Amino acid sequence: MSPDSHEQDIREQELPGIGKRYDQSTEDGLISVVIHHSGRRDLYVTEKAGRARTPTVVTLTDDQSRRLGAVLAGAYFQPTVAQRIEAVVGGLIIDWVTMTSDSPGVERSIAELEVRRNTRMTIVAILRGDEVNVVPEPSEVLHARDKLVVIGRPDDLPAFIRHVAG
């Protein structure tokens, strides 16, 4: 193990009654993410000692966190190093999209929305509460708080979000 490898590990801590905390050391300090049982995320950025400061805190919803995560993972922009991985999966991404009560696709079926034709993305699973519907039928109606697992090309994800999730 190299001397810096411990800095690359993400440390996980259970927060009873709250959720979980994940810490990642960086050259500039520490990034901490608290995932609450409600799905809300709090992102803390603390500079290294010597530049002692109060952590900067940003609160994100579940959906905002997943979108930001997609950006950080390279779904919207892929660094050159990721191009070899993309070639293996044929340039596809898998992403999570959470439906809200304001989503254009709420209370409409996959067929009615013509998801594949209008967005070129495919809904491969729907998480609804504790239930998982893998490869849902076109007649499946989408509801607020559904978490959709979608697959397609990175360039098509924004159209899916506009057309289905809003």
Q: Which of these, 86, 157, 148, lies nearest to 121 by C-alpha position?
A: 157
56 and 74 inside one domain: no
Q: Quick one: DSSP state of residue 76? A: S
- What residue has token string 């929305």? 113
pLDDT digits (tens, 9 = 90+) for 55-110: 788 888 877 887 777 767 655 554 444 444 444 456 777 788 889 999 999 999 99
The domain of 94 spans 70-165
∠ CA 131-165-114, nearest 5°, is 90
- Does residue 121 contact residue 151 with C-beta atoms inside 8 Å? yes
Q: Which two tokens stand for residue 63?
A: 């959906």
Q: Which of these, 15, 57, 54, lies nearest to 35 by C-alpha position?
A: 15
Helix (H) or strand (E) holding 31: strand 29-36
pLDDT digits (tens, 9 = 90+) for 110-157: 999 999 999 999 999 998 988 889 899 999 999 999 989 888 888 888
- Domain total in the chain: 2
39 and 79 inside one domain: no
> What region, left, alpha or beta, does residue 31 occupy, with left being phi > 0 and alpha being psi -120 to 50 degrees?
beta
Q: Is 65 inside any structural domain?
A: no
127 and 80 inside one domain: yes
102 and 148 inside one domain: yes
Q: Which two tokens stand for residue 119?
A: 């967005």
150 and 103 inside one domain: yes
Q: Is the pLDDT of residue 161 over 70?
A: yes
